[in-house]
């Protein structure tokens, strides 16, 4: 970021100097080309920062979760212990039977609960 | 100041020309670098966004959920426990929840049947989650027939669909009324799946949970804070599968930086020797090489980060969807709430730009401090 800002400063200061203005007819200096690339990059970054300030409406999902007293996201519905992660037994592997390896991909995403994470 | 600026511009001119001389090599390097930053930033942005989404949507989850354990497994809980729980000081409300899973052979997927406390559907009616309705090709007015616990086929008329804006929490939901639910699963009256408590002061939830465990041994008590911590842990980019993914990316990045730091090509060393021989100072050579590294890495950072943002918040995290989806048939359609943490942005910048720039300078410094004659003769 610091380097990008330094570039922006160097470029603006250089362009403010009349004798080294960018000429569209002549051959561009390397530093001018760099300034253009970084200028565009910074504009894209600023656009991303501006875009990140919008907040989509989540009221429908929130009120449904409140009404139904929901406790979990419906992301992993492939296994009963992954559908309601917070309500399942501790996310122990081999919970179906001793030799059962974790066979659902969602099981690979979940991590073992820390010792103090639950009261049970 | 103007002289300093002009000097830096000349060094940048030279660096750009230098990069241009090995165009294919440097473009390849830039491409690989952009890909690394893109993957790194995507993992961090996606993990953070999902964690935030879970916190936001589940902010109104029950303060305490009480389950009954039987032989170490979650079992139905008797309704008479509700009165004992309501009598506890600090408990404002206690409700019995009815929910369960039904394996739908048509979809080869689990659906979640639930009884809403308010506005339950009428007898023989159901309200479906948008993902489930889409997967089954059902619309309001259609009938959904399922085989119940007793083997009998039960038909439910679909009276409505849950809003598609809530798919992240309702993808596989099927809402029915209490009588239908009990008949479908064969659950007698007087039993619930679990009990949900609302407490007056959330700070007292822990104390109330301890009281419940003392008075009703054999229960499992789950606090709202624990639910939040569960999702924090699942989507934490420093844990689980995301860490594995991130580790691979960081290892590739370390390899790139190491390759750069381990030495210069003979051509580059000769070039440094010539520059020194024609009067360049060590500092100038270092500055020129600094600009080379900084140009490449900052350019890669800007492009990689912007692409990662577009991928996560406008492309639905398409690269991660297969990982999260796993074998889920009823995978919800959702968009994540965009947010950029400036600290996180700064960390990514320093993690991706500084090591590379520093790695380029180390071998240059070694070559630039040698005698030009010695460097050119090597």
DSSP state of A24: S
Contact between B213 and A113 under an 8 Å Cβ cutoff? The reply is: no
The SS3 of residue B111 is strand
Contact list in B for residue A19 (CB cut-off 8 A) is none
Q: Which of B95, B229, B302 sits opposite A45 (nearest CB)?
A: B302
pLDDT digits (tens, 9 = 90+) for B111-160: 999 999 999 999 999 999 999 999 999 999 999 999 999 899 999 999 99
Contact list in A for residue B97 (CB cut-off 8 A) is 69
CA distance B374 to chain A (A): 31
Mutate to test the interface with B, among A27, A36, A55, A69 (most CBs of B within 10 A): A69
- H or E stretch including B276? helix B266-277
Closest CA to A85 of B230, B368, B187, B280: B230
> What is the C-alpha separation between B7 and B12, in angstroms, rounded?
9
Q: Search chain B and give the residue with CA nearest A48.
A: B306
pLDDT digits (tens, 9 = 90+) for B269-308: 888 888 888 888 888 888 888 888 888 899 999 999 999 9
Burial class (CB in 10 A: 0-12, 13-18, 19+), B207: middle
pLDDT digits (tens, 9 = 90+) for B337-371: 888 888 989 988 988 888 888 888 888 888 888 77
* Residue B112 CB contacts under 8 Å (≥ 6 apart), including other chains: A74, A77, A83, B99, B100, B101, B102, B172, B173, B174
ipTM value of the model?
0.78
Strands, E assignment, A20-114: none
In this model, does residue B51 exceed pLDDT 50? yes
Closest CA to A45 of B352, B301, B29: B301
| Domain boundaries of chain A, sorted by first residue | 2-51, 80-113
**Half-sphere CA count of B21, side-chain side, radius 13 A:** 9
Domain B64-224: assigned CATH number: 2.40.40.20
Across A29-38, B11-20, B212-221, the highest mean pLDDT is recorded for: B212-221
CB contact under 8 A, B340 and A83: no
pLDDT at A120: 56
Confidence of residue A103 (pLDDT cuts 50, 70, 90): low
C-alpha distances (whole Å) from A73 to each of A89, B201, B260, B345 are 17, 25, 44, 27
CB contact under 8 A, B327 and A104: yes
DSSP state of B165: G
Average pLDDT on A1-23 reads 50
In this model, does residue B241 exceed pLDDT 80? no
CB contact under 8 A, B163 and A60: yes
Crossing angle for the helix pair B240-261 and B342-368, nearest 10 degrees? 20
pLDDT at A13: 55
C-alpha distances (whole Å) from B200 to each of A67, B92, B94 are 18, 6, 12
Contact between A76 and B296 under an 8 Å Cβ cutoff? The reply is: no
pLDDT > 70: percent of chain A: 52
Mean pLDDT (chain B, rounded): 88
| Domain boundaries of chain B, sorted by first residue | 9-58+234-377, 64-224
Q: Which of B166, B240, B328 sits opposite A60 (nearest CB)?
A: B166
The SS3 of residue B15 is helix
CB contact under 8 A, A31 and B169: no
Q: Search chain B and give the residue with CA nearest A87.
A: B222
> What is the C-alpha separation between B186 and B183, in angstroms, rounded?
5
Mutate to test the interface with B, among A37, A75, A116 (most CBs of B within 10 A): A75
**Main-chain phi, psi angles of B370, to 5 degrees:** -80, 165
**Main-chain phi, psi angles of A50, to 5 degrees:** -70, -40
> What is the C-alpha separation between B15 and B368, in angstroms, rounded?
16
Q: Search chain A and give the residue with CA nearest B346.
A: A1
Contact list in B for residue A58 (CB cut-off 8 A) is 56-57, 165, 337
Average pLDDT on B170-194 reads 95
CA distance A17 to chain B (A): 9
CA distance A99 to chain B (A): 19
More confident residue, B105 or B327: B105
Q: Which of B5, B17, B74 sits opposite A30 (nearest CB)?
A: B17
């Amino acid at each position: 970021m610091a380097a990008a800002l330094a570039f922006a400063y160097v470029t603006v200061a250089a362009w403010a100097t009349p004798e080294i203005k960018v000429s569209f007819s002549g051959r561009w200096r390397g530093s001018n080309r760099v300034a253009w690339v970084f200028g565009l990059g910074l504009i894209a970054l600023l656009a991303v920062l501006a875009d990140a300030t919008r907040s989509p409406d989540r009221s429908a999902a929130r009120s449904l979760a409140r009404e139904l007293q929901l406790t979990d996201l419906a992301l992993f519905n492939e296994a009963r212990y992954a559908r309601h992660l917070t309500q399942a037994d501790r996310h122990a592997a081999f919970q179906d039977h001793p030799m059962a390896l974790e066979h659902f991909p969602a099981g690979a995403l979940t991590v073992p609960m820390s010792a103090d994470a639950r009261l049970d | 100041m103007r002289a300093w600026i002009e000097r830096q511009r000349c060094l940048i001119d030279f660096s750009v020309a230098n990069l241009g001389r090995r165009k294919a090599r440097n473009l390849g390097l830039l491409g690989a670098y952009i890909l690394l930053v893109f993957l790194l930033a995507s993992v961090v942005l996606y993990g953070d966004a999902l964690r935030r989404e879970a916190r936001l949507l589940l902010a109104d989850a029950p303060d305490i959920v009480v389950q009954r354990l039987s032989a170490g497994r979650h079992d139905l809980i008797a309704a008479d426990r509700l009165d004992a729980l309501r009598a506890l000081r600090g408990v404002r409300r206690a409700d019995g929840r009815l929910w369960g899973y039904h394996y739908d052979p048509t979809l080869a997927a689990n659906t979640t049947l639930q009884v809403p406390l308010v506005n339950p559907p009428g007898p023989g009616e159901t309200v479906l989650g948008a993902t489930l309705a889409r997967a089954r090709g059902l619309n309001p007015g259609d009938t959904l027939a399922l085989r119940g616990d007793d083997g009998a086929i039960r038909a439910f008329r679909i009276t409505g669909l849950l809003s598609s804006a809530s798919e992240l929490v309702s993808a596989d939901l099927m809402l029915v009324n209490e009588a239908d639910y009990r008949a479908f699963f064969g659950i007698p009256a007087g039993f619930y799946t679990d009990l949900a408590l609302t407490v007056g002061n959330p700070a007292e939830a822990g104390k109330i949970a301890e009281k419940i465990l003392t008075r009703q041994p054999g229960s499992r008590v789950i606090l709202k804070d624990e639910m939040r911590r569960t999702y924090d842990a699942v989507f934490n980019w420093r844990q689980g599968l995301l860490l594995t993914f991130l580790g691979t990316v960081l290892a590739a990045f370390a390899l790139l930086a190491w390759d750069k730091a381990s030495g210069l090509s003979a051509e580059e060393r000769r070039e440094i020797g010539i520059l020194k021989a024609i009067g360049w100072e060590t500092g100038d050579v270092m500055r020129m090489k600094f600009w080379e590294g900084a140009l490449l890495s900052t350019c890669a950072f800007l492009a990689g980060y912007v692409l990662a943002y577009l991928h996560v918040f406008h492309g639905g995290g398409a690269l991660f969807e297969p990982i999260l989806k796993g074998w889920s048939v009823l995978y919800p359609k959702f968009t994540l709430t965009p947010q950029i943490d400036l600290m996180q942005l700064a960390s990514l910048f320093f993690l991706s730009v500084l090591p590379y720039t520093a790695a380029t300078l180390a071998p240059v410094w070694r070559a630039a401090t040698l005698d030009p004659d010695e460097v050119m003769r090597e």
